[in-house]
């Protein structure tokens, strides 16, 4: 009998790529999400995989729903990816961010606590928990203090601490990932690189004027391709240590201005950049680069896909999406 993996946030960006990886490794998938699959996501899976995917709709904030779902399907692995992941939205609605990210995670943990054999479970924290690092503090390691400066980061720091608490107090096999920025095909335009790739594709196809609105460009981020990121998730739950956080990152810092330059170079048109105050955050993190040393030394994982390929694939994804709509 095939093993079953539960993925919360199944219809999200990383959820699709993780499901594809697990399906390739002969898992059946229980995909849990607050929204029903519109068909666009499932259409990306091979026809032979369709009968290996069970989609379940529900709200993580409803503990009874979560408990019954986990009890009914009895998954062999759980990847808890679902979250309110927008820093901007977290400032606008911090209460909802806390409710989804913290209470939703608590419901997952309490549900597996009730099982006779708790399955290995991965919780996704964020690099945002490290806060406003100085240039001499990067690449940051997992031993750095947690200093979140936005509501989303606070919620993810709570998730990080819950992973440790439930491992320590109850011996649950909880694995904690501190995910740094990742991008690639399929990412929504709420993410800055996908937004720029989408706008550049629109400009190239003549669907909008050659102008891109930008926010704070004095920012350096550590980016990994999402297809490498989900392989890291798999490597951690297969060979990492429970109760121990892992940075999932490249160890390289990319100034956003350089990444935008690469993306706009894919278009033959001359593109103007226009500052947009609405895209600025109340507080920002100028530099965020992680050390992947622990992850590499304990699992052997390392990123394979270059940033140029990530951005090119992201741009081509939006070209195809826009052409199919016209």
Q: Do 67 and 207 fall within a single domain?
A: no
Q: Do 15 and 144 fall within a single domain?
A: yes
Residue 38, C-beta contacts closer than 8 angstroms, at least 6 positions apart: none
- HSE, CB side, 13 Å, CA atoms: give it for residue 195: 11
Q: Do 229 and 164 fall within a single domain?
A: yes
Q: pTM of the full predicted structure?
A: 0.94
Q: Do 67 and 148 fall within a single domain?
A: yes
Q: Could you list the residue range(s) of the whole structural domain that residue 18 is in?
A: 4-183+222-251+291-304
Q: Do 98 and 144 fall within a single domain?
A: yes
Q: Do 176 and 94 fall within a single domain?
A: yes
Q: Look up residue 246 and give its two tokens.
A: 């892992």
| Rounded (5°) CA angle 286-266-42 | 85
Residue pLDDT tens, the chain, 326 long: 679 999 999 999 999 999 999 999 999 999 999 987 655 555 567 777 878 999 999 999 999 999 999 999 999 999 999 999 999 999 999 999 999 999 999 999 999 999 999 999 999 999 999 999 999 999 999 999 999 999 999 999 999 999 999 999 999 999 999 999 999 999 999 899 999 999 999 999 999 999 998 888 899 999 999 999 999 999 999 999 999 999 999 999 999 999 999 999 999 999 999 988 888 778 789 999 999 999 999 999 999 999 999 999 999 999 999 999 87
Q: Do 132 and 34 fall within a single domain?
A: yes
Q: Do 26 and 71 fall within a single domain?
A: yes
Q: Are 236 and 295 in contact (CB under 8 A)?
A: yes
Count: domains in the chain: 2
Q: Look up residue 188 and give its two tokens.
A: 């929504």
CATH number, domain of 132, equals: 3.40.50.720
Calculate the CA 10 to chain-centre distance: 11
CATH number, domain of 203, equals: 3.90.25.10
Q: Do 106 and 140 fall within a single domain?
A: yes
Q: Do 83 and 139 fall within a single domain?
A: yes
Which residues are bridge partners to 123 per DSSP? 80, 176
Q: Do 131 and 198 fall within a single domain?
A: no
Closest C-alpha to 305, from 5, 6, 17: 17
Kindly report the number of other CB atoms within 10 A of residue 129's CB atom: 24
Q: Do 28 and 150 fall within a single domain?
A: yes
Cβ-count burial of 142 within 10 angstroms (0-12 exposed, 13-18 middle, 19+ buried)?
Answer: middle
């Amino acid at each position: 009998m095939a093993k079953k993996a539960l993925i919360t946030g199944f219809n999200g960006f990383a959820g699709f790529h993780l499901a594809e990886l697990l399906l390739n490794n002969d898992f059946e998938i229980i995909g849990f999400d607050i929204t029903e699959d519109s068909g666009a996501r499932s259409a990306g899976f091979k026809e032979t995989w369709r009968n290996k995917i069970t989609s379940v709709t529900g709200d993580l904030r409803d503990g009874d729903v979560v408990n019954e779902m986990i009890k009914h399907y009895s998954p062999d692995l759980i990847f808890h990816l679902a979250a309110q992941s927008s820093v901007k939205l977290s400032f606008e609605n911090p209460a909802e961010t806390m409710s989804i990210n913290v209470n939703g995670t608590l419901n997952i943990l309490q549900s597996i606590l009730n099982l006779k054999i708790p399955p290995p479970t991965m919780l996704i924290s964020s690099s945002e928990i490290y806060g406003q690092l100085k240039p001499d503090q990067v690449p940051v390691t997992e031993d750095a203090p947690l200093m979140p400066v936005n509501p989303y980061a606070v919620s993810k720091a709570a998730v990080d601490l819950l992973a440790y608490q439930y491992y320590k107090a109850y011996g649950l096999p909880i694995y904690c990932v501190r995910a740094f920025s990742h991008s690639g095909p399929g990412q929504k335009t709420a993410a800055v690189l996908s937004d720029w790739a989408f706008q550049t594709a629109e400009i190239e196809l003549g669907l909008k004027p050659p102008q891109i609105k930008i926010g704070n460009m004095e920012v350096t981020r550590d980016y990994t391709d999402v297809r490498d990121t989900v392989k890291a998730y798999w490597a951690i739950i297969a060979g990492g240590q429970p109760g121990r956080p892992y940075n999932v990152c490249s160890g390289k810092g990319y100034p956003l201005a350089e990444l935008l330059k690469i993306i706009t170079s894919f278009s033959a048109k001359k593109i103007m950049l226009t500052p947009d105050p609405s895209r600025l955050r109340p507080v920002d993190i100028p530099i965020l680069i992680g050390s992947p040393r622990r992850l590499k030394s304990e699992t052997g994982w390392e990123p394979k896909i270059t940033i140029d390929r990530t951005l090119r694939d992201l741009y081509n994804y939006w070209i195809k999406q826009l052409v199919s709509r016209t």
